[in-house]
A and B are shown apart, each in its own frame.
Chain A
Amino acid sequence: MVNEALQVERRGAIWVGEFRAMASPCEVHLELRSGKLAQQLLSMARMEALRIERLFSRYRDDNVIHRINEANGKPVTVDEETARMLDFADTCFHASDGLFDITSGVLREVWRFDGSDTIPTAAEVEPLLARIGWQRVTWEKPHICLPAGMQVDLGGIGKEYAVDRVLGLLRERSPGACLVNFGGDLHASGAPQSAGFWSVGIESHGSAGMATQSLQLQRGALTTSGDARRYLLRDGVRYSHVLNPKTGWPVVGAPAAVTVAGDTCIEAGIMSTLALLHGPDAESFLDSHELHYWVQR
C-alpha cells in the first residue's frame, strides 16, 4: 500500500486497517467486498482518529487543551466539540461523586509509573491536591475558567470518544459490519455475515498459563482498564497507576484489569475506570450497576 502509515490487509471477507494513533495500535475491521471502498473508509477512519488526537492531546501546544491549561486563570472559549466533552466530563464527575476527575492529571508530576520503585512522599503529594478538583473549575458553556496551576486532561476519555466517533462515521458509509479497536477499546456496529460474530480475545495479564478468554461480540462496546503493565513496586507493595483524585494516592486492591461491556465505548470506558477506582469493591460496584464485566485480579 502506498500509505505506509495505514496498513491494509484482507483477512477473508474482512478488510483490516492498522495504524497508530493516540499512542496505541489501532485497528479497523470492515466486512466489505470492494477493496477501494475499504481503502477509502480505512483512510477516513485514520484521519478522524488523528483529528481527535490533535484536538485533545495534552502534548501539543496548538490545541484547545493547551489554551485552557495555559490560560493562567483567565476564561477560555471552547468549540462545540470540546464543550460537549467538558459537559460529559462534568456529568461523570458529579455522578461519580468526584472519583472521575479530568483535573487529576497534575498528579503525574510526582507519580511516574516507569516500573521503578520511586514512590513520592506524602509531602510531595499533599500540595497537589489543592490543584485538583473539577468543582473549582468554572464551566459555563462555552467558557471555561481554570484556577491558575490547574490542568485538564481529556486523555482518559479521548480514545473511547474517538472509537465511538469513528464507528459512527463508518456505520453511515459502510454497507457491512464494522469494528473499531483503538488500543483495546473497541466498538462494533454489527456482526459480520461471514462468521456471525466478532471474536474478541481478552488478553490475560495474569500468571503464565492463564487462558485467554474469548468473547463473541455481535455489537456494542468493550473497554478494559487495568494496571497490569503500569505500576510501581516497592517493599513488595504494588502501587497501581490508578490514582484516587481525592487522596492523590494509588487505589489499593485494584484489579489487574477490568473489562466492561456497554452500548458505547465512552460509557463502558467510564465504568471500567470507575471500577478500578473502587479497588477491592470493583466487582460489587459493577454488579450494582448491572453491567457485564470480566475482572482479572
Chain B
Amino acid sequence: MSPFRQKLSAASCALLALAVNPAEAAQRDVASGGNETADWEVDTSYLSYREADQRVSVGKAVATLVREAEERSITVSAVHDTMSGASPTGALQSDSPASTVTTVSGGNSSNSLDYSTSEFSDTRRQLGLGIEQALSPDYTLSYGGVVSDESDYESLGVNISLARESANRLSTITGGIGWIDDSIYRSDTGGTPEPLGNVQQPRPFSKGERKTLDALLGLSRVLNRLTVVQLNLSLSASDGYHSDPYKIISAADANERIIANFHDSRPDSRLRGSVFGKLVHQLRDSLHSVHLSYRLYQDDWGISSHTADLRYRHRLNRQQYLEPHLRLYRQSAADFYQRSLSVDAGSNPVMPGDSLASADYRLDALSSTTVGLKYGIRFTPDAELRLRAEYLDQRFSTAIFDRNSALILQASFSLSF
C-alpha cells in the first residue's frame, strides 16, 4: 500500500471510530441489541354470529400473541366460544305444539314428539400453538398444534408443513400434513346413539372417535409486480364416527305425518379433495387491491361444491381502507341425504339399503351468499382496528328449514410492540 493510502486509511479509521453520539443513542432504543430484537404482536377479536329467529347465536373471542424474531416466530392463540340457541335437528315438525328436546342445558326433557329443534348452550375453548422456523434462506418449517374442548366434543390436531422459496424468490412451494383426533359424544349421555336407532329407544353406540389426515400441496407465484397467484391441492381422509349425535331423520307418510324419528347415520369414512386458486392483484397506479379466489370441492359422500370469493380493498388514505366482500357458495346434496324416510303401505319406515340416512340441512343441496363490508384504520404504524359486518343468506333445496340467515359482526384490534 502506498504511503499516501496508509495515511488515508489511518485518517479514515480515526474518523469512523468516533464514539456514540446523542442522536445515535436515541436510535439505539429503537433497535436495541441487533438480532436479539424480538417483536410482539397481539391480535384480539370479538365476533358475534346471530341467526334469524334466535336459532343459533355464537359469541367468539379470539386472542393471538405472536413473537416474531429473525429466525423463528411463535404464535399462541386462544379462542373462547359461547354458543346457544335452538338448532334444527333435521326431524320434521310434529303437529303437536312445539316444545323442544333439551340437551346440554339439561332438565326438562319432554315426552313431546317434536324433535325438530334441539336447544343447546355450550362453550368451546381452543388453544393453539404455531412455530415457524427458518431452516435456510430457502426453507421454512412450520408446525403446531391445536386442542379444543366443549361439552360434547374434544379435538386434538397437529400439523407440519415445509415451504421452499425458489432461488429467484418468485415462487413458493408448500407441502403440509395435519393429523386430527376427534371425540364426539352427546353431552347428556356421554356417548353416541346407535345410527338409525329409534330416538325414543336410544341405544348407546360408541364413544365417537374420528381420526383425520389432511394433506396440502400449495404453490404461490409472483406473476408480475402487481399480481400474485396461489394454487392449492388438498386431500383429507377421515375414518371413524362421522354421524351427528344430535341430528334426527323422521320417517313420514305422504302427508308428512311422522311415524318415527331415527338418529342420523353417515358413512364411517370420508375422503375430501379440493382445488383452490387465488389471485391477488393490485390495481394499476393505485393502492387498491383485489383478492379473488375459487374453490372446487368434491368428496366421496357425493357433495361437490363451488366457492367464489371476491374482496376489494379500497384504500381511503394511508391509514384507512374499506373492503367490500362477496362470497358465493353452491353445493350438491350428499348421496344419503333425505328430507325424511318414506313409509310403506303398512306405515313401516323404509330403511335405506346401505343404512345411511341424514336430514342434516348442511348435507342438502344449498347455496349461500355472503355480502360484507370491512373497515380498517391504522392509528399508528403499530395499532390497527378492523370492524366488519357480514350478512349470510342460505337457501336449502329440500330441508325442512329451507332458509337460514345470519348477521356476523366482528371487531378486531392488533397492536405491535
Contacts and interface: CB of A to CB of B under 8 A. Distances in A.
Direct contact of A and B (CB under 8 A): yes
Interface of A: 2-4, 11-13, 32-34, 36-37, 40-41, 43-44, 47-48, 51, 80-81, 84-85, 87-88, 91-92, 95-96, 161, 164-165, 168-169, 172-175, 193-194, 263-264, 266-267, 270-271, 288-291
Given A12-B168, A48-B24, A84-B15, A37 B1 contact: no
Given A161-B15, A193-B137, A289-B5, A44 B30 contact: yes
A147 B137 CA distance: 58
Contacts, number: 111
Contact of B34 (A12, A175, A290, A291): A175
A37 B70 contact: yes
Contacts of A87: 11, 14-15
Nearest to A44: B27
Contacts of B69: 34
Contact of B70 (A91, A169, A175, A270): A175
Contact of A173 (B5, B7, B31): B31
Nearest to A263: B9
Contacts of A2: 318-319, 378, 380-381
B11 A47 contact: no
A95 B23 contact: no
Contacts of A44: 27, 30-31
A94 B227 CA distance: 57
Contacts of A270: 8
Nearest to B6: A95
Secondary structure of the B contact surface, majority rule:
mixed
B109 to A, nearest CB: 56
Contacts of A290: 1-2, 5
Nearest to B168: A12
Contacts of A164: 12, 16
The 3 closest A-B pairs by CB, nearest first: A12-B169, A175-B35, A91-B11
Nearest to B170: A12
Contacts of B68: 34, 36
B2 A84 contact: no
Contacts of A80: 18
Contact of B416 (A36, A169, A172, A266): A36
Contacts of A81: 18, 21
A267 B137 CA distance: 33
Most chain-B Cβ atoms within 10 A of its Cβ — which of A11, A33, A40? A33
B90 to A, nearest CB: 49
Contacts of B21: 81
B37 interface: yes
B256 interface: no
B215 interface: no
25 contacts: A4-B318, A32-B70, A34-B69, A36-B68, A36-B416, A41-B31, A43-B30, A44-B30, A48-B23, A84-B14, A84-B15, A85-B15, A87-B11, A88-B14, A91-B7, A91-B11, A92-B8, A96-B4, A164-B12, A164-B16, A173-B33, A173-B34, A173-B35, A266-B15, A290-B2
Contacts of A169: 24, 27
A37 B31 contact: yes
**What is the size category of the interface that chain B forms with chain A?**
35 or more
B134 interface: yes
Contacts of B9: 263, 267
A49 to B, nearest CB: 11
A37 B37 contact: yes
Nearest to A192: B137
B70 A88 contact: no
B71 interface: yes
B39 interface: yes
A95 B7 contact: yes
A174 B32 CA distance: 10
Contact of A33 (B2, B31, B134, B319): B134
B13 to A, nearest CB: 8
A91 B6 CA distance: 11
A213 B11 CA distance: 31
A231 B241 CA distance: 84
A43 B318 CA distance: 18
B131 to A, nearest CB: 14
Contacts of B319: 2
B225 to A, nearest CB: 10
A53 to B, nearest CB: 12
Contact of A168 (B16, B70, B71): B16
A175 B34 CA distance: 7
A88 B15 CA distance: 7
A47 to B, nearest CB: 6
A290 B1 CA distance: 7
Given A2-B319, A91-B7, A47 B378 contact: no
A13 B380 CA distance: 27
Contacts of A4: 318
Given A34-B68, A37-B70, A44-B30, 8 more contacts: A33-B70, A87-B14, A88-B11, A88-B14, A174-B34, A174-B35, A264-B12, A266-B15
